Chains A and B, each alone.
Chain A
Amino acid sequence: MHADNDGAPLMLAPDVLSETLTTAMATGAEFAEVFVEDRRSISALFDDGRVEELTSGRDRGAGLRVVVGDTTGFAHTADLSPSGLRSAAEAAAAAARGGGGGVRQVVLDQHTGPAPGPVEIMPGDVPKARKVALLERADSAARGSDGAVTQVAVRYADSHRRIQVANSDGLLTGDRQVRTLFSVSCVASGDMGMQTGRESIGHTLGFEVFDEVDVEDLARRAAGRALLKLEAVPAPSGEMPVVIGPGGGGVLFHEACGHGLEADLVAKSASVFAGRCGEVVAAPIVTLVDDGTMPGEWGRYAIDDEGRPAQRNVLINEGVLTDYMWDHLRARREGRASSGNGRRQGYRHLPMVRMTNTYLGVGDADPDEIIADTTHGVYVAQLGGGQVNTATGDFVFGMTEAYMIEDGRLTNPIRDGNLIGNGPQTLLDIDAIAGDFAMGSPGTCGKDGQGVPVGDGTPTLRVTRLTVGGTAA
């Protein structure tokens, strides 16, 4: 093993990787790749009034991918010795069932890719006691905000992930990705039962995050959300205008069209956006970007899990669909470059097309006027995840802090529920976008059983018509 070199973290020696790739190509493959990962993580949980546990994890291994024709063979191993890698390369090659044979020596060209994101204070250098102290402060702040706060869970987590990618095109590159996450979940109890409130922050930074983030303030906001909902009325049902607050709406775009713009789903015609590049797919005020380079954001990286530099990709420009998101394999088949969206949960998984940080560009409306201009509808201040069927375009997203809008004013808070819409229709139904942009909470996007960290952001916006899934008439 080599030492961590900040420019291009090198984990396995080039000659070992080169030999492994040569083995993988020995049965006549068109493409082979070694993905090496070494991930250390710490998670601390303060729950039920005490430090419940501290957990440390270490996971390292390599995934071997071999492509023959339209077939991908894949194997992985936790054994990073030359023989362990050779066995995995043989298994992947056998799975890809290459028949040709012939020797092709793979020569690697050490690639100086983009530098890893800057980290001032590596989490591993911070004593565990300092991490635990943050939890206690957040717990006290949440409980101190009101006697009705009956339970608090606070989690701190950090991870340090080093990756190395080498492939048969001669690429050899690496990255070092550091993530820090902090979340507070509260339960408040009242006459009408219990309600929950959550707040979280997550960045591709180290412990310096807490120079900017006040964990007590974060905790009070989580508690406030649970307390607010003790007074909540049942959510309405039926179609109505929906205004989404700054930072809150990213999930809507992630589901309404983000997944539908992933080239793997497009290629299988499993997306309502297939074949629509160059067409108007959204209101002209809509410009949607997926940007893996946003400094410090949760979905940020220097290179993706196929070794391609992260990019800023404009997906929808003033309402016109400009491009899909691509990974290496899909791009290779189309004879174009990857857009740096090839990601995987870990070395045990095949990469596929994934989003990074997806955001809606600002508009020129005034956020207060958007609300004042809405007679009857719902204002969603915080969203809580969603889901989409990319083939039909139907998507849902949850609301975890929302209010009625009556005669242009926010009135009663409403209980949790889902909203449902159809992606292509919803994009056309956006009639106002403000200038108050904010990023939302850190998310984990699930696809085919793999979870990867993603970010999103929006200014305040209004959709003229969505279906709100409550119980009130």
Chain B
Amino acid sequence: MERRPEVGELLDLAESVVGLAVAGEQLEVVVVHERETEARAYEGEVESLTVAESRGVGVRVVSGNQQGFAHTGTLDRDAVEEALAEARDNMSFATPDEYCGVAEPDGVAPADLDLYRSALADHPTDDKVALALELERLTLSADERITGIESAEYSDSVSETAVATTTGIRATSRETGCFLSAYALAEQDGETQTGFGFSLGREPGDLDIEVASREAAERATRMLGAVKPPSGRLSVVLDPWVSAQFLGIVGGTLSGEMVQKGRSLFAERLGDNVAAPGVTLIDDPTDVCAFTASATDGEGLATRRNVLIDGGRLDRFVHNSQTARRAGTVSTGSAVRGYSSTPGAGVRAVSVVPGTLSQADLVAGIDDGILIQGVSGLHSGVNPVSGDFSTGAEGIRIRGGQLAEPVREFTIASTIQRMLLDIEAIGCDLQWLPMKAAGVTLVIGELTISGT
């Protein structure tokens, strides 16, 4: 493959383009380089092995309160200059907006985070392939009812980003991440069920292949014999995998951009009690445990720990530099973007402060309910503007504090507003997942179950 650029070279490129700014013009250049390896195993063979590099540059131009943007999927100098010309041309069509502009340095030093491991970058590809093959073997042998694998894969990425602006921002970051994931098929009496297991890390040594394979097998086999439950209102226990997806949606509604554009159901609610008193929701990209941790945001400012909901009270929205100017405040270091888009404002690493009880303890306290282990259709049945919440679900019935029969083909429904107020207990099992939120077992007092 092509020679791999160092992050310093990415910054050099960004700086050199910034140097092309004309008088009265602001420029922001973001340069991204990513290396990925993905190995998939199937029936004891390598099904596919992808070894690839991606790179790209995004150029934002601001002049006379107008903004233009263009991007290109290469670091070639000619292509980047073409992008700059396109961005300038695009700018002339934008409506002037007094708040637009690139970020200004704010004096906050980026946290010193240990997110890059040379152990991953240098890890032999053969060993990565071996992990995928071993994951498949362990998952298949975990239980005799596991009859097949839809996928068993190892994947990793090494990503490097540089941001430079005419306002003096010079930021670089580099991160490594890897994960194992298995999707198992369990079969019994002609019925098939599926289960997902995974393990995350910054380097291959962090990965727990036993956990990934065992969880995939357990989640699949425990769904065997699942029936459709009757409709009704029940207490529901959200497994961390599910609660992380819910908290990610809640985090999305607290974007300063959504608030300012009248698309957040919490827009007028600062200072109100929007969640149960035990709920403290934090966005903290500086938490090294978060898979999505990063010391700098999409505009090159330092990320920081932001308390969004404090003891149930709505405390803060997250901002990039533009939404902050409009709101008369300062950026919370929450610009989110890739090289192919302008920065939005959003959360990056959301979690609730965990409680003290395990999932088993929480289940033991419920007389009649359902443990939800998977949801589907979050994009189609959850409306983050109106708050309507309805998803497909599967899980295990809880009777008399014990896990009972598996249930499937039903929906759970409420509203985002009510679910936050109905959180009755929070588990101690905080777990970071490959998404912008951590999961933790949550007990929701009442949800509508729609089944037979």
Q: Known contacts A53-B68, A471-B414: does B388 contact A417 (CB below 8 Å)?
A: yes
How many interface residues does A have (CB within 8 Å)? 86
Given contacts A54-B93, A417-B381, A417-B390, contact A471 B49 (CB under 8 A): no
Say yes or no for B241: interface residue by CB 8 A criterion.
Answer: no
A463 to chain B: which residues have CB within 8 Å? none
| Most chain B CB atoms below 10 A, which of A53, A61, A70, A418 | A418
A418 and chain B: residue at smallest CB distance: B381
- Please name all residues of chain B whose beta carbon is closer than 8 Å to the beta carbon of A69 when the two chains form the complex: 45
With A and B bound together, what is the CA distance between A129 and B92 in angstroms?
A: 10
Q: Which of B86-112 contact A (CB under 8 A)?
A: 86-87, 89-91, 93-95, 97
Complexed CA–CA distance, A54 and B392 (Å): 37
CB distance from B67 to the nearest CB of A (A): 6
Interface residues of B in 433-452 (CB under 8 A from A): 448-452
CB distance from B98 to the nearest CB of A (A): 11
Whether A195 lies near B385 (C-beta < 8 A) is yes
Residues of B within 8 A of A272 (CB): 192
Contact of A50 with B411 in the complex, beta carbons under 8 Å: no
Question: Does A70 contact B185, Cβ atoms closer than 8 Å?
Answer: no
Cβ contacts under 8 Å, A392 to chain B: 192-194, 408
CB within 8 Å of A: which of B321-364? 340-342
Structural contact, B72 and A57, CB atoms closer than 8 A: yes
Q: Does B53 lie at the interface of the complex (its beta carbon under 8 Å from any beta carbon of A)?
A: yes
Across-interface contacts of A44 in B (CB, < 8 A) = 93
A267-290 toward B: CB 8 Å interface, digit per residue (1/0)? 011101000000000000000000
A422 touches B380 (CB 8 A): no
The number of chain B residues with a CB under 8 A from chain A is 84
CB-based A-B contact count at 8 angstroms: 273
> Which residue, A53, A55, A270, has most C-beta atoms of chain B within 10 A?
A53
Residue A385 is within 8 A (CB to CB) of chain B in the complex: yes
**Which of these binds chain A: B142-150, B170-178, B280-288, B423-431?**
B142-150
Would you call B409 and A72 a contact (CB within 8 A)?
Answer: no
Option from B49, B51, B185, B379 in Cβ contact (under 8 Å) with A391: B185
Asked whether, in the complex, the Cβ of B410 is within 8 Å of the Cβ of A71, the reply is: no
- A72 near B410 with CB under 8 A, answer no
Asked if B79 CB lies within 8 Å of chain A CBs, one says yes
Q: Which of B53, B74, B260, B392 contacts A60 (CB 8 A)?
A: B74
- Closest residue of A by beta carbon distance from B374: A389
Interface residues of A in 372-421 (CB under 8 A from B): 383-389, 391-392, 394-398, 415-421
**Cβ–Cβ contact A196 & B376, under 8 A:** no
Across-interface contacts of B167 in A (CB, < 8 A): none
Is B122 positioned at the interface, with any CB of A under 8 Å from its CB?
A: no
Most chain-A CB neighbours within 10 Å: which of B47, B381, B383, B394? B381
* CB pair A48 B261 closer than 8 Å: yes
Q: B262 touching A469 by the CB < 8 A rule?
A: no
From the candidates A74, A128, A416, name the one contacting B383 in the complex (CB within 8 A). Answer: A416
Interface status of A96 (Cβ within 8 A of chain B): yes
Stretch at the interface among A26-34, A186-194, A360-368: A186-194
Q: Mask for A52-76, Cβ within 8 A of B = 1, else 0?
A: 1111111111000000011111111
| Cβ contact within 8 Å between B380 and A47 | no
**A348 CB-CB contact with B under 8 Å:** yes
| B74 cross-chain contacts in A, Cβ below 8 A | 60-61, 78-79
- Max chain A Cβ within 10 angstroms of own Cβ: one of B148, B379, B413, B415: B413
Contact A73 B83 (CB under 8 A): no
The answer to whether A391 and B193 touch across the interface, beta carbons within 8 angstroms, is yes
Partner of A269, one of B72, B148, B260: B148
Residue A77, interface by CB 8 Å: yes
Q: Does A318 contact B (CB under 8 A)?
A: no
Which B-chain residue is minimally distant from A229 (CB atoms)? B386
By CB atoms of chain B within 10 A, which of A132, A391, A395 has the most?
A: A391
Chain B residues positioned under 8 Å from A239 (CB to CB)? 451-452
Decide if A88 is an interface residue (CB 8 Å cutoff). Answer: yes
Verify if A235 is at the interface (C-beta below 8 Å from B).
Answer: yes
B385 touches A196 (CB 8 A): yes
Which residue of chain A lies nearest to B85 when distances are taken between CB atoms in the complex? A56
A56 near B93: Cβ-Cβ < 8 Å:
no
Report if B219 contacts A (CB, 8 A). no
Q: Which residues of B contact A84 (CB under 8 A)?
A: 2
> In the complex, what distance in Å separates the CA atom of A193 from the CA atom of B417?
11
User: Are B48's CB and A237's CB within 8 A?
Assistant: no
Contacts of A418 in B (CB 8 A): 377, 380-381, 390-392, 411
In the assembled complex, 8 residue pairs joining A and B whose CB atoms fall closer than 8 Å, in A order, are: A55-B71, A87-B1, A268-B148, A270-B194, A348-B54, A386-B377, A418-B381, A422-B409
Sorted nearest first, the 10 A-B pairs with minimum C-beta distance are A469-B411, A398-B380, A418-B381, A50-B95, A417-B390, A396-B377, A237-B450, A54-B90, A396-B392, A59-B73
